[in-house]
Structure 1
């Protein structure tokens, strides 16, 4: 029990530290991406933290297996460097006892990843999709950033809105520019309506939102032609909220595991997503078992002698799963061939782990024979 507590305490502290570092790196990169979308007016700034919160389980289900793997390499590698493993083996505590002491943390990590992969992450992805869909119905005043163009629309019609200043308390825009464009099949605008006004504010009438513009001009025509019409006005109304953006396609990642099981034979994307969720769970015990022999280093070799090759091996393992996932999604027609199943990748990984433990004995026996 003392040995179990000692190893588990060291492993827990190291894994938490590695998880924290990896989460900060991954979250920072994703947050910058969403921040750029907020600056472009695609989503509101107050929705950023909600999106990041719902994305967190997806980050953790990818990070926890790697963090546990690196934690095992660091903890067991330090024990080899400090000759603690030699002392344990001299006292009759071999690798079998070390493996048994790691059963509890590996089971906990597997359970956490399984809960995230099968239940929590799909719900989070569905909520993120819902939040992005809600942003399309928000008014210009909610999404508009002063001094920047806000473009919204679809492939056939787009609206660009610009305001030099924005008083959010009074709801008044200053120096407003609005341009509505309709596009032909080739992507060329066949109609362009441009409005400039000194000020504007949001008004609501019969449940419809309008932008009430004052003291401005309207220009209407087709780009490349000279027959433009100019109309001055004291007040004009521009309907907002009616410009529809292209809806994001429903992502299979947001569907529950039960739904994926029921349609896996009809939808290749559902099959790929289902296999990916199960694969995330299997990576935890397989790579945890691989870390024990990979952490065995000679004190002269250094603590990090095998760390980089071991991490590269993990990246190769996960990379093969991702490639297989993409291949399954792209497969069209007929049943999946055997090589488009992730099971063979896990089988190869399991055989590799078996050889790490017993390969030396097998080769020595064959050499002796």
Structure 2
């Protein structure tokens, strides 16, 4: 009996690894396309691009693993039913729970991995992803003023460079600055260089002019200079700190939430994130129970198995939709927090009932037309 359980467990494990790997590659490819423009404009290396997109993957794995588990359990058990393997195992004395045991054990492994992902790995990796993305977009140490292009380096400042030399000089510089609705400035220089310090980035210009235009009196003022400095203001003009989303907060930060500057809706999103991390890892076992209770309950026949698979897929889709819907609703109404756990655990409880109750009627199941009589077509 243990050999049969190990055989089934290995079939499920290998299938899960293949399906999860394939889905992860597809998700990585689709998500990485969103950041191609950011990498090109910021001049980051290919290694940084791979690292940046790789930091997103733990967040998607929390969804990919349960869905992959459901898919491989449904496929494996359906194949074993059609090949009569489960019929033989049941005839050898394996009951409902014995047949479901390998899938349940693998589901518990995914539940443990889900807790590790949601409580530690995802907040850490997503925080690094957001920080690196912010740094790549706004930190001037990574910004390359591309030649022949109008570069929007910060709010209200556009810089054009005709050519960049190998030693870092900028030739043919033009910068346009919108101070406010009342006046604007246009800088022109023969050459210059991008310089960084603790206060930010600036362009040192040589042999140029600064034209200031005032909108109210339509006055143009021109100042010629041999050397001047143009400060590139950072995007956070008021010294604001980057907003940290609920997904990048640690569990301790969510438990001891600082509500300063958050409205009621914002507080609800942070609170529901805590309950999502505690409840949703159990969705892996919920998906497994949906597949098991539909496929291996009752007699095994070659007829109607496709209908069972279709019903299992519909139930799984409804389960996933219900979990997402209750999250959105609970973020606006704290009274719905218990419903997050109720919806997540409901398929587990119902699946156990479906799998355990037939043990009271094993005689009836054993007499079901699972194996055709000799001379009688299946």
Q: Same fold (TM over 0.5)?
A: yes
For 1:3-51, what per-residue CA distance to the aligned partner results, in whole angstroms no more than 9, with x for missing partners?
Answer: 1221122111211111111111211122111223334449886643332
Give yes or no for contact 2:145–2:151 (8 Å, CA) kept in 1.
Answer: yes
Aligned counterpart, 2:323: 321
Match of 1:77 in 2: 78
Shift of 1:117: 0.7
Equivalent in 321, 339, 343 of residue 341 of structure 2: 343
Q: For the Cα contact (< 8 Å) 2:289–2:352, is it kept in 1?
A: no
User: Does 259-268 or 144-153 show the bigger shift?
Assistant: 259-268
Deviation string 1:177-232 (CA, Å, 9 cap, x unpaired) is 3222234xxxxx33322223343312357976431223444332256974333444
The answer to whether 1:240 aligns with 2:238 is no
Query: What is the rounded CA distance, in whole Å, between the counterparts of 1:222 and 1:300 in structure 2?
Result: 83
What's the counterpart of residue 291 of structure 1? 291
With normalisation by structure 1, the TM-score equals 0.80
Could you tell me how far apart the structure 2 residues matched to 1:279 and 1:312 are? Answer: 22
User: Cα gap change, 1:220/1:38 in structure 2, threshold over 3 Å: closer, same or farther?
Assistant: farther
- The more displaced of 253-262 and 46-55 is 46-55
Is the aligned partner of 1:120 residue 2:143? no
Write the distance in 2 (CA, Å) between the matches of 1:20 and 1:108.
17
Q: CA deviation at 1:166?
A: 3.3
**1:5-44 matched pairs, under 5 angstroms:** 5-41=6-42
Q: 1:192 aligns with which of 184, 194, 202?
A: 184
Partners of 1:338 and 1:287 in 2: CA distance: 22
- Structure 1 residue ranges without an equivalent (≥5): 184-188, 363-369
Query: Per-residue displacement from partner, 1:243-300 (whole Å, max 9, x unpaired)?
Result: 5366531212222113323449994223210111122211011111211133458535
Cα 1:287–1:242 change in 2 (3 A) is closer
Distance 1:44 1:137 in 2: 16
- Residue by residue, what CA displacement relative to the aligned partner does 1:42-64 show, whole Å, maximum 9, x if unpaired? 98866433322322221212211
Aligned alpha-carbon RMSD (Å): 3.5
What is the distance in 2 between the residues matched to 1:250 and 1:42? 25
- The residue number in structure 2 matching 1:175 is 172
Residue 252 of structure 1 corresponds to which residue in structure 2? 246
| SS of alignment partner, residue 126 of structure 1 | helix
Single out whichever of 121-130 and 72-81 deviates more from structure 2: 121-130
Would you say 1:229 and 2:226 are equivalent positions? Answer: no
Using the TM superposition, name which of 94-103 and 199-208 deviates more.
Answer: 199-208
> What displacement does 1:115 show?
0.5
Distance 2:207 2:47 in 1: 33
How far the C-alpha of 1:355 sits from its partner, in A, is 6.8
Aligned pair count reads 348
Q: Does 192-201 or 225-234 show the bigger shift?
A: 225-234
TM-score, length basis structure 2: 0.78
